[in-house]
A and B are shown apart, each in its own frame.
Chain A
């Protein structure tokens, strides 16, 4: 497979995964805030700040935000690098240049999705389309996931897309944790609740589409520690960081031609990063969550760079 095309497939996977998390984050936060138990969590400014923080690379502004503008920027503003519409365009462009390698079915779904987003009526979205738009986006992504799994040969092409998807998933879950953790810190005490029992943990789990799974697993109201443990370390939760790392590990083995990866290879680095988190305990992470977040984002980043140099160099 061409190095350039592999790079495109990798990023196609990443963009598809990324836009879905952004869409879900918008949806969950916005609607959760409407009947949140405390005033601050209900505050429009609070939720808009949180959305922008998550979507636009952790930036925060002191300026009051305009709801329509924020929603438009994150969802449908083609001039914003971080908008969903931009990610869809990039995903399709990447799919285009690998069109001879991916299935007709997958391409058709991406293309349909692209036209759906491109033609979504902007005014309608700003006034009342948020729910419809974000739900359709997440459903379209589910279709894409199905097409990726079901219509591609599980060979190198598939492995590269899945590498992209899983690295991005781990990254986005961490980013969502980061955002919601910040929200929880800001919101704490406003309704007599503690950080540990913040309402934001429930929102966080919903943002990761993991609330039901978590309830089934713990059978108790989410706390900071159980939420983080579940989203970071639980290997059975398909959205967890650890699960993503395991997937990354599995897929890199399809690409590497070495049985025992040499020490400067991507496979070696991925194995090392996985091992590092495999034996972490949540208490350790919770002590300094911010440092942990920075650390794991750096690790994921270095995996991306390593892959770039080893496989996508053209």
Chain B
């Protein structure tokens, strides 16, 4: 590759013409946005990168920015691998993303309101009833309830990919307890420490304003009659895989990080037990799943939640963020109706593309799926974290038959999508001491409050570290990159 000759760490970088490469165009020239960065990086040797890489790793490890992996026998503490080559998004591209994810969040919020009130979209036959009625994430308890400020999905994490056509597609919306935002900030800090020089050549938006915006959003949905709300973050505890993030957010917002056992409900008000006695709590950013928040109302054996919390919420004495029951709308089956949902509620064309999807619940589509498993990605509708996904062209004949059987056993549980080719991005590969192309996606973070919204200018670029792997989730061995949204064009 001629343009790479002057950059030793790119010597073995093989661009795959079938994939969209984020930094090289089809003629192997470095794209405009990345030119300066590429030149700056060519000043470093492979050994330099090796050293920087190790430094970054040990810094993450020492700071305890780790997550737990549940293996068969033990829990391991792992760092979320951080890559030294940042992802850069130029202003025009970002504008579309920002508008697009905000549009989706708003549409989802309107959709949730409708599902828990009049269900007009269903009555009009736009979204099928059985998608809702067969969803385990629909909470009857939310039926007819008006959440403070009319907001359900205060925090949304939208996952985007860039396909080989160079366009962004939304892969999924996460509106339960999307995580990862703390890594956005850590990645920025880590890259600044490792290669601060490069920041002199680029004007990237800050990402550290997330926490202050989150706090503002939480304050907009305070219960009636509260002047300055007491906000808290509730975590399942130090053994939760996202505990670092919970503690980071609490710390950055300057609010208490509580566990269920720190709270109690009296006369439908929520209090936390402090060293000076009970203190009323008004807004709870909860990082506990619906089923665990209140043992009186949901799983009775849950020790993570607070007995009586749901009643306090329904009486309007405390606000839960995100609202319980949002899971019904980020279901992968609902995802496929997003273009219709956006049109229905906002009367707008979707700004971001949806990946075409086949519903195994529909007989004709099921037939297509069964015949084309080898060309499709099969996903369970209600699994998070990349579990249970089968990628058709990676399966043996026997495995394909196995997958077919599983789908036929419960078609409602599966959807299928064409194998999207996630774009690739240069990623430092430790074993080979050089940069190689690896698949990436992008998780954005959108906040909705009463009369205020915010999209974090940046995001979590997740990278599949194994060659050819398309699954970028941290629990499946993915890493991440600092992501720059530029203020000006390069």
| Chain A residues at the B interface, C-beta cutoff of 8 Å | 1-6, 93, 96-97, 99-101, 104, 107-108, 111-112, 115, 156, 160, 255, 257, 311-314
Contacts and interface: CB of A to CB of B under 8 A. Distances in A.
Contacts of A112: 62
A276 to B, nearest CB: 26
Contact of A311 (B61, B62, B275): B275
B230 to A, nearest CB: 12
Contact of B62 (A1, A6, A111): A111
A99 B261 contact: no
B257 interface: yes
Interface in B233-250: 237-238, 243-244, 247-248, 250
Contacts of B238: 93, 96-97, 99
B273 A107 contact: no
Residue of A3, A107, A111, A160 with most chain B CB atoms under a 10 A cut-off: A3
B262 A314 contact: yes
Contact of A2 (B61, B64, B244, B272): B272
B274 A1 contact: yes
A93 B276 CA distance: 24
Contact of A111 (B64, B257, B259): B64
B258 interface: yes
Given A4-B261, A4-B273, A104 B243 contact: no
- Range for the number of chain B residues in contact with chain A: 20 to 34
A115 B273 contact: no
A181 B447 CA distance: 65
Contacts of B273: 2-4, 313-314
B256 interface: yes
A108 B186 CA distance: 14
B344 to A, nearest CB: 41
Given A100-B256, A115-B61, A314-B273, 15 more contacts: A1-B256, A1-B274, A2-B274, A2-B275, A3-B262, A4-B259, A5-B262, A97-B238, A99-B64, A99-B257, A100-B247, A108-B63, A111-B62, A112-B62, A311-B275
Contact of A156 (B256, B257, B275): B275
Contacts of A313: 273
Contacts of A93: 238
B243 A2 contact: no
Interface string B219-238: 00000000000000000011
B274 A3 contact: yes
B250 A100 contact: yes
Contacts of A255: 275
B76 interface: no
Nearest to A93: B238
A108 B64 contact: yes
B367 interface: no
Nearest to B63: A108
Contacts of B237: 97
Contacts of A257: 276
Contacts of B243: 96, 99
B251 interface: yes
Nearest to B243: A96
Contacts of A1: 256, 274-275
A97 B62 CA distance: 17
B15 to A, nearest CB: 39
Contacts of B257: 5, 99-100
